Structure 1
Amino acid sequence: MDSSNQQKTFTPYWFSEALAQEPNSYPIPLENDIQTDICIVGGGYTGLWTAILLKQQQPELDIVVIDKGLCGSGASGRNGGCMLTWSTKYTSMKKLYGEQEAVRLVKASEQAVYAIDDFCREYNIDAQLRLNGTLYTATNSAQQGGMDAVMAQLDKHQINSWQQWQHEHVQQAAGSALHREGFFSPAAASVQPALLARGLKRVAEQLGVKIYENTPMEAISTDSPVTITTPNADIFANKVVLALNAWMLEKFPQFKRSVVLVSSDMAITEQIPQKLFETGLKDGKTVIDSRIFVHYYRSTPDGRLMLGKGGNHFAFANKISAVFDQPSRYTPLLRQSFNRIFPSLQQQPFAATWTGASDRSTTGLPFFGHLNNHKDIVYGLGYSGNGVAQTWIGGQILASLVLEQQNQWSQCGLVSGPKGYFPPEPIRWIGAMLVRNAIRRKETAEDNEQQPFWIDMQLAKFANAAGKADKR
């Protein structure tokens, strides 16, 4: 077939930028049967952090990581690069896990941000990590006051890293006059997500982890030892870690009602450093608004502006289709949001758009456990669009489960399996469409300072009940 007629493989912006820095790097697929102490399936953040943390604790372990593509080519290499915490999810965590555990998880999520920054410095990972904090804002009167309840709870336990900024300061720091209210926390960062993922791969290999890319898991046998079947070879492992996140649903249908796959769509401009400076965006802080399906944006070190929006495409039957691996079909929606937030940049074209699959759980929080109560197979998924920093916690949990340690990680509230289930298809998808469209109408009305329809307000509450509106 003439190459001009072949469909070109789509590579999201961040991942393309990261691979350009590895001109002499070639993926190594698994060709021969092997035995190993631990096989980790999935070479994204969760799998790589788990491998690294295991090696740091027990260097003698033989550890293998396999990925069906390239390490970091999934959600880890195509998210918005916003390293946020669980502090604003305190209320949900308190209901799920109790007060003491919620406090501990808030602290752990903030610790994760600083730990990743320290790790990158120690191992010379140039992931463009900028520890400039995050700004949570309200962009209309309906959103104002949305942070008050959780701020009071965090204050009560003396774990509140947030401070409310004056109106003018918010607008200046956020680069937009649209923002009416804002809370800033220094415990957050922005990062080039694919560079972080590829950096973790490099460090894992330096520590002795064997990594095989372009090696999908075709089947798993739970006999002892556990056998992972790949296209050209089998892996016989004493322990297995399933770190597939959204791709978990392809092989393990028991999780299909535990999460819903929803897109987060992103756009990035060409280099416009002077224009960004003029707006007020002078560092790497992330800015998040108070919608249910949030807008998030931040600048890059080379002077680009990245804007994303969650809650667009809901996958029917949770199938990862071509929608998740192509330029965003929601580019007009991204353009509308971009122009509204940055009216002075309306003529600025996008250099690229892309889509990522978010595995959103019923609680908006990840969950971990043993697959079918098998003591030698552990898993974790459900980061719900807030996992760049939290995968470090996921790695701690999975490493502790693998090593059968009795500690704060293996016994934390997240190690409880799914905490709820979505309805079966087609009810789930039809319901998701009803709720999504109601939220869109509700938030459009609020943007125009109008009263939303009563029915839209009631339907939007289903998103709150599913853990989606707890401030990301």
Structure 2
Amino acid sequence: MDADLSPSFWLASLGPVTRRDPLPGDTTADVAIVGGGYTGLWTAYYLAVAAPHLRIVVLEAEYCGYGASGRNGGWCSGLFPVPYERLARRYGADRADAMTQALADAVDEVGRVAAAESIDCDYTKGGTVSLARTPAQLRRAEASPDFIDAAKAAAICGATHVLGGTYSPHCAALHPAKLVRGLAGAVERRGVTVHEGTRVRRIERGRVDTEHGTVRAPTVVRALEGYTAALPGHRRTLAPVYSLMVATAPLDAATWERIGLARRETFTDERHLIVYGQRTADDRLAFGGRGAPYHFGSRVKAGYDRDPAVFAALRRTITEMFGIDAPIEHAWGGPLGIPRDWMPSVGVQDGLAWSGGYVGDGVAASNLGGRTLADLITGDLTVRTTLPWVGHRSRPWEPEPLRWLGINAALRATAVRDAWERR
């Protein structure tokens, strides 16, 4: 497959990166934020808005957007990895409803801030469609209150073998790297200091140790998502599982007339091993999916971003779904963070704050997480600070080799189940 070697199509489209200066040495702050992706930058943004007197420092190992924030599928969605029914059983229907509404509102909030800060991130709120393309998938779709029949589903997304689907308006397609780079500029305009090329070695109450010096701060925010396992003491906090993507060359008008996605709706189908796609603003098909293996010891390496077998499977899936053999111009991947119970969380305890574990649905959730952390840090009690994920603690993942065996067995079983349903 002839594809570029940049971290992602999104980042490549923005051209070369000019890194901000690293931490020049020991310093102090009111809030030290570890991670220059969505979570860290949204937290810095809302803190700077709510309390402009605070000294806020963001520390990023590479450059803002290097991780999942610059590589994801560009779905700004109200999706949550924990089913509503499970939330309602544990926390009650009222709090489950509040969580659902808060995430839906976060989709609009991302668009609002992007417009207010003049961040041109190709934000288009067309909703999302999940297609049912086998009888088993149709049964799952029919159980949803968002079910739509085959005609309506195919009118949105003209894939093959459409039997029905579900549709939600609570999703926008966007260019993720434009958003994260725009956010970095927005927080700097509000007085936040951003240091790139500054790898954090350890965080603890009141301090962050980096390769360039120590930042002392009464509040330290951990916002590392798929890279969390690299921190001492956090090897089993979040499992870094890889998701990979490809992007086609721009497709012609006739092809898009057949595929649809006229309002840039994001799309998936009801299979178990997640796939996801969008029509980009420049008329490419950007398409991704899970299936890459989990690596022993929660290791994260640049070489794991590329798996030729997964890329080939994604290309085959595009052909099978849409009957096209489009040239693939970009292929990339990266780790996302998965907690043991798949429940994202946000909280502050003894000066250590965190938000993450989004299981791949973090574009809007990180915005809600950042706003919630700003509330918690400033002591502003809001509806957000009472949501079910606030203060939640997932139990650690199993030690190795159980973690490696369990996660990869689950991935393989999911793929087998999909294959069985197709037959």
- CA deviations on 1:245-274 (whole Å, 9 max, x unpaired) are 121111143x43343221111110011132
Deviations 1:421-453 (A, max 9, x none): 4332112211222222222122112112xxxxx
SS in 2 for 1:297: strand
Compared with structure 1, are the counterparts of its residues 315 and 388 closer, same or farther at alpha carbon in structure 2 (3 Å cutoff)?
same
Q: What is the aligned partner in structure 1 of residue 188 from structure 2?
A: 205
SS in 1 for 2:271: coil
Equivalent runs, 1:49-68 vs 2, <5 Å: 49-68=42-61
Verify: 1:356 aligned to 2:334, yes or no. Answer: yes
The amino acid across from 1:129 in the alignment is Y
Find 1:433's aligned residue among 408, 411, 418: 408
CA–CA distance in structure 1, aligned partners of residues 204 and 403 of structure 2? 31
Provide the C-alpha distance between the structure 2 equivalents of 1:298 and 1:395, rounded to a whole number of angstroms. 25
Higher relative contact order by CA 8 Å / sep ≥ 6: 1 or 2? 2
Identify the match of residue 400 of structure 1 among 375, 393, 399.
Answer: 375
Which of 242, 257, 266 in structure 2 is aligned with 1:263? 242
Say if 2:114 is the partner of 1:104. no
* Structure 1 match to 2:259: 279
What TM-score results when the alignment is normalised by the length of structure 2? Answer: 0.93
Deviation by residue 1:96-131 (Cα, 9 ceiling, x = unmatched): 432211100000000000111111111111001111
SS in structure 2 of the partner of residue 380 of structure 1: strand
Deviation string for 1:177-198 (max 9, x for gaps)? 2322112121111111111100
Distance (Å, rounded) in 2 between the aligned partners of 1:317 and 1:117: 38
Match for residue 84 of structure 1? 77
Which of 120, 124, 132 aligns to 1:138? It is 132
Counterparts of 1:46-195 in structure 2, within 5 Å, are 46-86=39-79, 89-151=83-145, 162=146, 164-195=147-178
Query: What's 1:158 paired with?
Result: none
Compute the displacement of 1:149 (Å).
4.4
CA contact 1:265–1:328 (8 Å) conserved in 2: no
Aligned to 2:398: 423
Q: Quick check: 2:144–2:166 contact (8 Å CA) kept in 1?
A: no
Identify which range, 406-415 or 175-184, moves more after superposition: 406-415
Partner of 1:382: 357
User: SS state of the match for residue 390, structure 1?
Assistant: helix
Cα distance per residue 1:131-172 (max 9 Å; x no partner): 111112212111113144453xxxxxxxxxx4x333123123
Instruction: Give distance in 2, aligned partners of 1:233 and 1:263.
Output: 31
Match of 1:301?
281
Whether contact under 8 Å (2:272, 2:415) holds in the other structure is: no
* Higher deviation after alignment, 264-273 or 417-426: 417-426
1:397 Cα deviation after fit = 2.0
**258-267 or 62-71, larger mean C-alpha shift:** 258-267
CA shift digits 1:67-101 (9 cap, x unpaired): 00101110111010112213783123223432211
Cα offset, 1:19, TM superposition: 3.9
Instruction: State the distance in 2 between where 1:87 and 1:263 align.
Output: 18
Structure 1 gaps, min length 5: 1-7, 152-161, 449-472
C-alpha distance in 1 between matches for 2:6 and 2:260: 33
1:11 to 7, 10, 14: 7
Runs of 4+ that moved beyond 6 A: none
Does the aligned pair in 2 maintain the 1:42–1:68 contact within 8 Å?
A: yes
* Paired residues of 1:262 and 1:311 also in contact (CA < 8 A): no
Q: Which residue of structure 2 lines up, in the alignment, with residue 410 of structure 1?
A: 385
Q: Distance in 2 between matches of 1:312 and 1:327?
A: 7
User: How far, CA to CA, are the matches of 1:87 and 1:368 in structure 2?
Assistant: 14
Q: Is 2:59 aligned against 1:45?
A: no
Show the counterpart of 1:154: none
Tell which deviates more after alignment, 262-271 or 139-148: 139-148
Counterparts of 1:26 and 1:317 in 2: how far apart (Å)?
A: 30
Relative distance call for 1:319 and 1:276 in structure 2 (3 A) is: same
Structure 1 residues 309 and 9 mapped into 2: Cα distance closer, same or farther (>3 Å)?
A: closer
SS in 1 for 2:332: strand
The change in CA–CA distance for 1:124 and 1:267 in structure 2 (over 3 A counts) is same
1:252, 1:397 → 2: CA distance? Answer: 26
Cα distance, 1:9 vs structure 2: 7.5
Q: Which residue of 2 aligns with 1:27?
A: 20
Query: Among the aligned pairs, what percent are the same residue?
Result: 28
Deviation sequence 1:295-327 (CA, Å, 0-9, x none): 111111111001111242212221112344446
Superposition map of 1:230-269 within 5 A: 230-253=210-233, 255-269=234-248
SS of the aligned residue for 1:144 comes to helix
Q: Which range moves more in the overlay, 394-403 or 317-326? A: 317-326
Corresponding residue for residue 391 of structure 1 = 366
* C-alpha deviation, 1:342, in angstroms: 1.5
Q: Distance in 2 between matches of 1:331 and 1:405?
A: 46
Query: Structure 1 260/227 Cα, relative in aligned 2: closer, same or farther at 3 Å?
Result: closer
> Hey, what's the Cα distance between the residues in 1 that align with 2:414 and 2:230?
29
Contact 2:37 2:69 in 1 (8 A): yes
Displacement of 1:26 after TM fit?
3.9
Alpha-carbon separation, structure 1, partners of 2:30 and 2:397: 36
| SS of corresponding position for 1:70 | coil
Tell me how far apart the structure 2 counterparts of residues 19 and 200 of structure 1 sit (CA, whole Å): 17
RMSD, aligned CA: 2.1
SS at match of 1:307: strand
**Corresponding residue number in structure 2 for 1:333:** 313
**Structure 1 stretch displaced more, 180-189 or 428-437:** 428-437
1:28 is displaced (CA, Å) by: 1.4
